[in-house]
Structures are given as structure tokens and as C-alpha cells.
Amino acid sequence: MRRLLSLFLIALVPALPVWGNGSSPAKVEHVRTGMTIGGALVGLAVTVPNVVGLLPAGTPLSDTLLVTIPAAAVTAAVGAVVGRWIADTTIALRPSLLASPFLGAGLGLVGSALAGGIGFSLAFAIAIPTVSVPPGYWGFDYPQAVGMAFLAGGLWGGLLGAPAGAVLVPILSIYLGR
């Protein structure tokens, strides 16, 4: 019986990678592409309303666009890089379905905190010298405002990114057949 079981296991060894150790290259590329595009779109969708809401009412459209476009573009680029990083990490680590929400929460927290901090602080860095406001409107001097914006963007980005990652990485794991 032992010899039969040993022969059976030896015969199965070459077939094991075919049965689930690897994902198809097409699925891996779909995940990478989708996460890159999705990260950019989420970065864009979150930054535009936040930057427009940051500016005081009555700000001319030209000033609003001058602040919004660069901040949204940079945050979209950071979001694309973060999305790709989350996809590559998920593909490389191949988390189990039980561990994937925890991995996703951590990746989402770190990546979204980075994107939120960069986008929000850049918006402040451009808005303070560009937009005409009454003295004391921003509440801080220039370096403090940019630093506080980085912390605030990082905090809110991380708080929103953790649950998003906790949901997204298990979906990627299931799609990839982990």
C-alpha cells in the first residue's frame, strides 16, 4: 500500500503546478492592467471633489483648474502605481482566501495613505500661493499647511483604503484561482 501511494504521489508531482499553483498569464495581465487603471481612476475620482471643496466659494474657474488639474494628475499617477503594486504583491504572495483580507487591508492602508497624502498636500501647496483668500483662511502658515495636508490626506486615504483593500484582494485571489 505504501509503495502504491508513493508511486501515486510521484506521478502527481509534475501535474501539481497545472492544478492551481500558477495563474494563467492572461489572468495575471488582466489583474495588473485592471488594478493600474482602477488605481488611477480612484485617485482621480477622490482628488477632484476634495480639491474643489478645499477652495473657498467664489474662487475663479481658472484658479480652481490651476489647482485641481495638477493635483488630480499626480494623484492619478500615484494611484496607478499603487494599484499596480497591490496587484503585483497579491500575485507574488498568493495569499489564501483566509489571509487575503488582512493582506488587502494592509496594502490598501499603506497605498491609499501614500496617494492621499501626496494628492492633498500638493493641492495645498498649489492653492495657498494661487488662490486669493482672507488672512488666516488656511489656519496655518505655508509649510505647516502642506505638512498638515499630507497627514490629513494620509489619514483619510488610509482609513478608506484599508476596507477597500480588504474587499479587493480576496476578489483578486479568487479570480486568480488561489
For the entire predicted model, the pTM comes to 0.82
Q: How far is CA 52 from the centre of its chain?
A: 21
Would residue 157 count as lying in a domain?
yes
Per-residue pLDDT, 142: 87
Q: Which domain holds residue 85?
A: 23-176
Report the C-alpha gap between 167 and 107 in whole angstroms. 11
Would residue 48 count as lying in a domain?
yes
Q: Which of 146, 155, 157 is nearest to 82 (CA)?
A: 157
Report the C-alpha gap between 166 and 162 in whole angstroms. 6
Would residue 94 count as lying in a domain?
yes
Report the C-alpha gap between 134 and 102 in whole angstroms. 46
> Rounded to the nearest 5 degrees, what angle is found at the Cα of 157, between the Cα atoms of 74 and 161?
110
- Contact between 69 and 120 under an 8 Å Cβ cutoff? The reply is no
Per-residue pLDDT, 108: 96
Would residue 139 count as lying in a domain?
yes
Would residue 1 count as lying in a domain?
no
When divided into structural domains, the chain yields a total of 1
* Residue 178 neighbours by CB under 8 Å, 6+ apart: 20, 23, 94, 95, 96, 97, 100
Per-residue pLDDT, 19: 40
Per-residue pLDDT, 22: 63
Would residue 60 count as lying in a domain?
yes
Per-residue pLDDT, 132: 86
Per-residue pLDDT, 134: 81
Other Cβ atoms within 10 Å of 120 Cβ, number: 28
Would residue 171 count as lying in a domain?
yes
Per-residue pLDDT, 72: 95
Report the C-alpha gap between 161 and 142 in whole angstroms. 28
Taking only the tens of pLDDT, the chain with its 178 residues reads 667 556 555 655 544 433 445 678 899 999 999 999 999 999 999 999 999 999 998 899 999 999 999 999 999 999 999 999 999 999 999 898 899 999 999 999 999 999 999 999 999 999 999 998 887 888 888 899 899 999 999 999 999 999 999 999 999 999 988 6
Per-residue pLDDT, 10: 64
Per-residue pLDDT, 113: 96
Would residue 7 count as lying in a domain?
no
Please name the residue ranges forming H helices in 94-141. Answer: 100-130
